[in-house]
A and B are shown apart, each in its own frame.
Chain A
Amino acid sequence: MSPLWIVRRIGFYVLITVVLAFFAVPMLWLASAPFDTKPGLGLRWPDWTFANVSATFDHPFTLSSLVNSLILCAIATVVTTVLAALAAYALSRVRIPGRDLLLYLLLLLSSVVTGTAAMVPIFVMMLQLGLINSQFGTALVIAGGMLPAAIFILKDFVDAVPRSYEESACVFGASPRQVLSHVVLPVARPGVATIFVWAFVNAWGNFLLPFLLLRDVGQQPAAVLLRTLYDEGGSANLTVIPVFSLLYSIPVVVLYLFVSKRYGFRFHGGIKS
């Protein structure tokens, strides 16, 4: 063990510590501020209390906004997963005329037309359709934005299911519906689960579209309410914000833990090099 080696090792661990601190320090606020008697925009060892929690539950819109988030997210996620699964299956198994062009266009669309680039026409369209303040309409807009990428990722998963499974099932007289529900779906389940979680996390955190399209506070999801708590009345409502941030983050963290335990957080070929 030469001195150079020791210096290198120390340098290495200093670097790792700095990176660890860079990623960890901002998150500590989420653990300390909710339970502090005087929560602020800064980090300090909390003066423990649960008063903020009850204050948050007493706030007229916190719980309803979480319910709104859940509704919005459930519609967007289910629509995305079901429609993407059907489309991915058909596109993977049947040579529909123009299929390759369609797939190419989908890939192009999913990257080019983003919510930010198309916010003006989406807003104007929903305004003219009278769908401003409609949760269902907003959920469909979110789903429409996620669908191309979802179809693409899922098609990769379905492509990996061997066709011989379905052929054997057909030989034994299974109907297309039976093939789908008893053969393809069980084998492609990790793919469907991936899309479900991906869509949920995306829809749950989406700020821009509900911010644009849901102007009535009774319809707004947690993402938008959290912003309102910050700038309404000129000053941030720091009693409610930390606890509410924590509550709102829990589903995402739980899903993350579930996915990393069950499947491991890795890329499985969905991304091509």
Chain B
Amino acid sequence: MDSSGLGVRRAVAFVAPALVLIGIFLVFPALWTLYIGITNYQLTGPAAANPQVVGLDNVLEAVRDPLFTNSVWLTALFVLFSAVIGQNVLGFALAWLLRSVSPWLRRTIEGLVLLSWILPSTVVAFLWFAVLSRDTGTLGLLLGSPETSWLVQYPMTSLIIFNIWRGTAFSMLLYTSALAAVPPSQLETARLVGASGWQTVRDVVFPHIRGHVLTNTLLISLWTANDFTPFLLTSGGPNHQSEVLPVLIYRQALEGGQLGYASAMSLLLLVGNLVIALIYLRLLRRRA
């Protein structure tokens, strides 16, 4: 029964404008990547006016290109250390530890963590230049080695630490709401039998939030793999040492003008996203 009195025809009219926009700006570009990816399309020059279909050559070339394999490896490191390990562990630790501190301290820390998540990425890049830059940077002053230029000497490590700072809020929020679902009586029992904090987490809490851990890990991995902020911090440098996939795609397409080749790389990123998303949806469905 249609309680709203809308009727199917009017309902379709309600949905249509959104679908048109999604179709033009999301579905069409995604499908078009398939086509551009098999051409030698370029931003300028003869191949710009009249691109030729080159088939799977772009994909094969990408797989053999050391810049691309380097970039895939860096992206994997970035996702593994900053999201799967960093944000996950810190987010859970915050959700767990902040239950037992005074409300004002809890609000302060949560506020700061959330702020680091919602500030615009260009502003955040400057905040971290001020931490990591040479001579005047805060980290150098704190550690007594102001001559270290962190973003140049340790670009990937810097990006990983940065991204933990940037993205932990989501994991914290998700684990906070997950922990609220753990029955207090079980925590109380664990305390009474003298279980340590670690034992309680492993044996009492973890079985309840296993689903949340998976959801969280998949989502933050997806977002981290597609994050363009590393471009703002290092632009992929020095010498490609921090060139994660989104940065490589940008530089190949817009700086190098190789639109076809960059599309083939995007295609591989899209396939990676699709795999993660399908695993995620499968898990959602199984639990529903």
Taking Cβ atoms with an 8 Å cutoff, the residues of A that contact B are 12, 15-16, 19-20, 22-27, 29-30, 33, 40-44, 79, 83-84, 86-87, 89-91, 93-97, 102, 104, 106-109, 111-125, 140-141, 143-145, 147-148, 151, 163-164, 166-167, 170, 175-176, 179-180, 184, 201, 204-205, 207-208, 212, 222-224, 226-227, 230, 241-242, 245, 248-249, 252-253, 256, 260, 265-267, 271-273
Q: Mark B19-53, 1 if CB is under 8 A from A, else 0.
A: 10110111111101100100001000000000000
Q: Which residues of B contact A122 (CB under 8 A)?
A: 25, 29
Q: Which bracket fits the contact residues of B?
A: 35 or more
Are A121 and B11 in contact, CB atoms less than 8 angstroms apart?
no
CB distance from B96 to the nearest CB of A (A): 11
CB neighbours (8 Å) of B97 from chain A are 12, 15-16
Is B205 an interface position by the 8 A CB rule? no
Question: Across chains A and B, which 6 residue pairs bring their CB atoms closest together, nearest first?
Answer: A144-B25, A42-B136, A205-B120, A90-B14, A94-B11, A121-B29
Q: Could you count the A-B residue pairs with CB atoms below 8 Å apart for me: how many are there? A: 299
- List the B side residues contacting A253 at CB < 8 Å: 115, 119
A113 to B30 CA separation, bound complex (whole angstroms): 7
Q: Kindly list chain A residues whose C-beta atoms are within 8 Å of the C-beta of B19.
A: 87
Do B114 and A170 touch across chains, with their CB atoms under 8 A apart?
no
A155 CA to B22 CA, complexed, in Å: 17
Cβ-defined partner of A121 (8 Å) among B17, B263, B284: B263
Question: Do B32 and A29 touch across chains, with their CB atoms under 8 A apart?
Answer: no
Within 8 A of A (CB), among B208-257: 209, 211-212, 215, 219, 222, 226-229, 232, 245-246, 249-250, 253-254
Q: In angstroms, how far is the closest chain A Cβ from the Cβ of B126? A: 6
A147 touches B246 (CB 8 A): no
A166 and chain B: residue at smallest CB distance: B3
Residue of B nearest to A144 (CB): B25
Q: Is the CB of B26 within 8 A of A113?
A: yes
Nearest chain B CB to A131 CB, angstrom units: 11
Which chain B positions have C-beta within 8 A of A106?
A: 22
How distant is A122 from chain B, measured CB to nearest CB, in Å?
5
Q: How far is the CB of A7 from chain B (nearest CB, A)?
A: 14
Shortest beta-carbon distance from A31 to chain B in Å:
11
Residues of B within 8 A of A84 (CB): 18
Contact at B281–A108, with CB atoms within 8 Å? Answer: yes
Q: Give the one of A20, A102, A179, A208 with max B CB within 10 A.
A: A208
Q: Is B131 an interface residue (CB 8 A)?
A: yes
Q: Which of B21, B24, B90, B121 has most chain A Cβ within 10 Å? A: B21
| Interface residues as binary, B102-140 with A (CB distance below 8 Å gives 1, 0 otherwise) | 000100111111111011111100111111010111100
Of B127, B174, B270, the contact of A30 (CB 8 Å cutoff): B127
Q: Given contact pairs A112-B270, A114-B273, A207-B122, enumerate 9 new A-B contacts (beta carbons under 8 Å).
A: A25-B138, A43-B138, A91-B15, A95-B2, A117-B249, A123-B259, A176-B6, A180-B4, A267-B177
